Chain A
Amino acid sequence: MNLLQSMQVAGRSLFRNRTRSLLTMLGIIIGVAAVIVTISIGAGARVSVQQSINGLGSNLLIIVPGSVTQGGARSGFGGASTLTPKDGLALAALPHVAAVSPMVTARAQVISNGNNWQTQINGVSPSYTFIRTWPLASGTLFSDTDIAASAKVAVLGQTVASNLFPSGGSPVGSTILVKNVPFTVVGVLSARGQSASGQDQDDIVLVPFTAAMQRLTGQTTVGQLMVSADTPDDIALVQTEVTTLLEQRHRIVAGQSDDFNVRNLQDIANTASATATVMEYLLAGVAGVSLLVGGIGIMNIMLVSVTERTREIGLRIAVGARSVTILVQFLIEALMLSAAGGLIGIAFGAFASVAVAKLSQWPLLIPPEAMVIAFGVAAATGVFFGYYPARKAAAMNPIEALRFE
């Protein structure tokens, strides 16, 4: 008897007991579906975190001033006023630095045409849109000339544009008042949506940082410096170079603490993905346990099935089945149950993953190797847990089996 015939015999006897076969498969179905869903959620979450971190800027380092102590109270990072536009120019000259933008922030009421809106004003350099990979929707960005001239020009975020110009016409060329200083709108940013922390990134006005320092904050220092490295691989190198250069410029000697702080967003990304990995292991463990339970379910049902079909087995032996044929038949039955369960589980898991991706608006990601591995593990579970019952069937004494009541 060849393998195909064994499969026919096994398939037929599973079909004869379809309700029981289906219930037996359920454990494997749930286990495999759980594996697929958890892996795809994990992968989707990882990509989503990576995307929102990339959205902050490409290969980004953020330098914030250090903390100051005033009357015993320590201010926390950014409290000191130690970073200057000249620091920014010096950093831009470093070999692996692609772009640098200072950032001066202020909140202000913005007025135009009888509409007003409170928003965040970011004083930046033209490199800012490159660093944040944030293209304009219309108009142009201000230029280095505008920086040098502290020109009163502004680029609006989408939220600000729609609130100041609700009629929908292009704001480019209009004049807005920021703290009663007239700025000419030269461009509008493309929509960016919410940040990872839920802030509206489009509620913003960009102006030249020189103009912001003179007209809005009245300070000579900047709130932070944004530095973009050439490639992701250079981030760590640039971080060291930036630190060394700023320590020189700020005359910080060895042993003294820095008056600035360099933040590497890749660290945050790595932490987030490490967290995701731990979650994935945890979920994979849960999925593994449910596969184990599913496998024991198969063994249980196969044992019941072998006992229940004792006479059938006796008859098969009497009419000429070799014991290895009986063994193979029951192994194939277990394998078919677990493999079919695996396939159905993959289908359910993929379906659930699509639903989760739709609900969470995460990117849908079902790694093909996850499906292959889940299926393989399910099938292996079937063979492993099917072997003992199959052996029991193959070792039966036909006389006793035929007399079995």
Chain B
Amino acid sequence: MNAETPVVRVEQLTKIYEIGEQRVLALDRIDLTLMAGEFVAVMGPSGSGKSTLMHLVGLLDRPTSGKYLLEGRDVAGLSSDEQADVRSRRLGFVFQSYNLLPRTTAVENVELPMIYAGVPEKERRRRALEALGEVDLTHVVNHQPNQLSGGQQQRVAIARALVNNPSMILADEPTGALDTKSSQDVMNLFKELNEKRGITIFLVTHEPDVAKNARRIVTFRDGHIVSDVAAGEAVLR
């Protein structure tokens, strides 16, 4: 991939949900480009379409119409198995509710994506420990989620997102369940990953304090992008 190729390029992306008789226009002809190494926060009230965009960009859902190029590759033609492989190798996910497997140690949780990527057992363990080191959790590798604080659990989840060396991490309200201090720790971690490793960060949030950690802020309302500005200039409404 050369430096000119955007990580994400969507054109006229539209998503319509049909709930019974009702048709909900969640995304209305969105155009958006993310270059490699960007740190973008997507903001907007709930129902504005920001989560829908994340699901489409994360290949968890398919658009109703429009074009999506991931690292220059049109993903519309990929089968769901091929999409699963892309998720496994190129993308990392962080969720509001951490989604760690219960009764499973931190290091085993981090190993999970590598199982599906076919990484051999020994290397899995080595890379999982390395990733836990990056999020500063070497002291709790054998703890289970219920023995960890919320901030620690989210850092385990970030290590899990990192472990397959993705080009982009998609974070859906990653600080939604955390206190201010832990939130800031998590955001600092994202900043560090973005700056030191050049990983593209796609952050969905509705909190302005969280969004201001990003370098670019895209604001949604009713399925449209209403503003797209560098962090300092954002008009926070």
A residues with a Cβ closer than 8 A to B are 1-2, 5, 9, 12, 16, 311-312, 314-325, 397-399, 402
Contacts and interface: CB of A to CB of B under 8 A. Distances in A.
A323 B58 CA distance: 17
Contact of A318 (B58, B115, B117): B58
B116 A319 contact: yes
B101 A320 contact: no
Contact of B104 (A16, A314, A316, A319): A16
B197 interface: no
A103 B61 CA distance: 93
A1 B116 contact: yes
22 contacts: A12-B104, A12-B108, A311-B97, A311-B99, A312-B99, A312-B101, A315-B112, A316-B116, A317-B84, A318-B58, A318-B87, A319-B87, A319-B113, A320-B89, A320-B113, A321-B88, A322-B81, A322-B85, A323-B80, A397-B61, A398-B60, A399-B55
A67 B85 CA distance: 90
B97 to A, nearest CB: 8
A318 B60 contact: yes
B80 A320 contact: no
Nearest to A325: B116
Nearest to B120: A5
Given A312-B101, A316-B116, A402-B95, A321 B60 contact: no
A399 B60 contact: yes
A9 B118 CA distance: 13
Contacts of A1: 115-116, 118
- In order of increasing CB-CB distance, the 9 nearest A-B pairs are A320-B88, A319-B113, A320-B116, A16-B103, A315-B99, A322-B84, A322-B81, A320-B87, A321-B116
Nearest to A314: B99
* Secondary structure type dominating chain A contacts: helix
A5 B104 contact: no
Contacts of B190: none
Contacts of B99: 311-312, 314-315, 402
A5 B116 CA distance: 9
A321 B84 contact: yes
Nearest to B101: A312
Contacts of B102: 16
B93 interface: yes
Interface in B76-126: 80-81, 84-85, 87-89, 93, 95, 97, 99, 101-104, 108, 112-113, 115-118
A319 B88 contact: yes
B170 to A, nearest CB: 9
A319 B104 CA distance: 16
Contacts of B89: 320
A402 B61 CA distance: 13
A311 B88 CA distance: 17
A9 B81 CA distance: 19
B160 to A, nearest CB: 7
Interface string B126-140: 000000000000000
A66 B159 CA distance: 96
A321 to B, nearest CB: 5
B233 to A, nearest CB: 32
A323 B55 CA distance: 18
Interface string B47-88: 000000001001011000000000000000000110011011
B103 to A, nearest CB: 4
A166 to B, nearest CB: 74
A316 B160 CA distance: 12
B116 A315 contact: no
Nearest to B99: A315
Contacts of B60: 317-318, 398-399
Nearest to B116: A320
Nearest to A318: B93
Contact of A324 (B81, B112, B113): B81
